[in-house]
Homo-oligomer: A and B are copies of this chain.
Amino acid sequence: MAKYPKIPEATIRRLSNYLKCLEDLEAKGEKVASSSHLATICNVNAAQVRKDFAYFGEFGIRGMGYNIKELKDHIKEILGINREWRIAVIGIGNMGSALLVYKDFLKQNYRIVAAFDIDPSKVIGHISERMGRPVEILHIDRLKEVIEARKIEIGIITTPPQEAQKVADLLVEANIRGILNFSPAPIRTPEPVKSMNLFFTAALDNLVYHLTNN
């Protein structure tokens, strides 16, 4: 906790991105990357790259650059994704079903180990037929019990907006640590529970602003 000094939020977001780029470089067989190379790929300034890493330690070799494998491990440790995170998805409509089989989660140590809905019988046909039933859909009444039993730390909300805050409250009661909310209604959670709201239309609004005003 508070292992590092105060880090700009923008730096944290870039770390995810560096990691992705480093994985691509590694896939191409590269072993070392300089700050300026990484900067070009990630569309940022080279000094920014160095400063971002320097917040957390001295990871590079002067005259050489950064060892890709090592740097990846450092970033994973900084972000806290150097271990498995167990996740529950609540609300198994179209979006929830899509997340249950979202390949990129698995690759990254994010494991969906429970799925809940208010009417599991309705979705079972859909899920099993198309996706091979990745996890059993449970009734939301079992939320607290199952979250505790399966040591789940993160909840993803994909319910209709009217239900989002209610589900968030249930998750908090079940001692969840963090919530990612995909529903279009923002949720609030009391300390120390962290929550993030992720709205698709906000991204579209942003895109449209730039189409309209540039």
**Residues on A facing B (Cβ under 8 Å):** 1-4, 12-13, 15-17, 19-20, 78-81, 85, 93-95, 97-99, 101-105, 108, 110, 126, 130-131, 153-154, 160-161, 177-178, 180, 184, 186, 192, 194, 196, 198-214
List 11 interface pairs A-B (beta carbons < 8 Å), by A numbering. A13-B202, A80-B208, A94-B130, A94-B131, A102-B200, A104-B161, A105-B201, A110-B201, A178-B211, A194-B211, A196-B206
This protein's copies in its complex:
2
A198 partner residues in chain B, CB cutoff 8 A: 200, 203
Q: Which secondary structure dominates where chain A touches chain B?
A: helix
A204 touches B13 (CB 8 A): no
Compute how far the CA of A155 lies from the CA of B104 in the bound complex, rounded to whole angstroms: 21
B207 touches A16 (CB 8 A): no
A4 partner residues in chain B, CB cutoff 8 A: 213
CB distance from A103 to the nearest CB of B (A): 8
Compute how far the CA of A48 lies from the CA of B210 in the bound complex, rounded to whole angstroms: 21
Compute how far the CA of A104 lies from the CA of B103 in the bound complex, rounded to whole angstroms: 25
A201 partner residues in chain B, CB cutoff 8 A: 16, 104-105, 108, 110
B110 touches A204 (CB 8 A): yes
Compute how far the CA of A214 lies from the CA of B9 in the bound complex, rounded to whole angstroms: 13
A101 partner residues in chain B, CB cutoff 8 A: 94
Compute how far the CA of A212 lies from the CA of B184 in the bound complex, rounded to whole angstroms: 26
A80 touches B178 (CB 8 A): no
CB distance from A65 to the nearest CB of B (A): 22
Compute how far the CA of A103 lies from the CA of B93 in the bound complex, rounded to whole angstroms: 12
A3 partner residues in chain B, CB cutoff 8 A: 213
Compute how far the CA of A108 lies from the CA of B213 in the bound complex, rounded to whole angstroms: 19
A204 partner residues in chain B, CB cutoff 8 A: 85, 105, 108, 110, 154, 180
B2 touches A206 (CB 8 A): no
Compute how far the CA of A178 lies from the CA of B99 in the bound complex, rounded to whole angstroms: 25
CB distance from A139 to the nearest CB of B (A): 21
- Contacts known (A101-B94, A202-B17, A213-B1); A178 close to B79, Cβ less than 8 A: no
